[in-house]
Amino acid sequence: MARNTFADVRSTNFMKDGFRKEDDSALKFFIRHKDEFLSDEACGANALTMRNKLARIIADQERSCALARENEERRRQEAEERAKKEEERRKNYARKSPDFSAVNMRPASPRTRSLLYDGVSQEGAGRALYLKTRYEKAPEDKFPKKYQTSWDLGWRLSDKIRTDELRMSKYARRSIIEATFFSRNGMPKAETYESGSRVWFR
């Protein structure tokens, strides 16, 4: 006997329609009497405890979300403030800092430049001797104008004071006194001499 496919589909749809109507009726009945079903008397003490617990959990979640939003907003504002301060600092630095790209140092003489290729720095020659030689020159001899505020003191002092006119004071300490009056280890102590000797600093 052949299978009646049309009858099977019709019966299946009929059953689906019946199940849907039953679910709709149950849902409508629950909505109409939900206040009675969800009352404290109907649910009991355990349901009331669970409901209060769920309410506390929801309140904690809402408070946590609010704190997270406040923290995110505060971080965003702090980041904007830092970016603004950094931009202001860069502008102030660019405005106050001198333009070192325009600094023109006079080149070293060929004799001084040749020191770079003679020996090594570890032995006191080469680059070390070159830098030492360049350091001995005054800033006005190496630069056409002042670039640092520290150069204000003593800039082109040789134009006003000649070094050959400087004279040492007669009361200043001289090398012959330093070499003969004191020993290399300082002033000698009394116990280093014999007891019978007379020392001038006693």
Domain boundary (110, 130, 147) is at: 147
Element of type H or E holding 132: helix 127-135
Could you tell me if 106 and 88 lie in one domain?
A: no
Among 109, 124, 147, identify where a domain stops.
Answer: 147
Count of domains for the chain: 2
Confidence of residue 200 (pLDDT cuts 50, 70, 90): very low
pLDDT tier, 29 (very low <50, low <70, confident <90, very high otherwise): confident
Same-domain status, 85 and 131: no
- pTM beyond 0.75: the answer is no
Its sign, for the CA torsion 54, 58, 61, 67, is: negative
Q: Which residue has the tokens 């032995």?
A: 123
Domain termination residue (choose one: 127, 147, 167): 147
One domain for residues 92 and 25: yes
Query: What's the average model confidence in pLDDT over 54-81?
Result: 91
Per-residue pLDDT tens digits for 82-123: 999 999 888 887 666 555 555 678 888 889 889 889 888 888
Domain that holds residue 141: 101-147
Give me the torsion for CA of 6, 10, 12, 13, rounded to 10°: 140
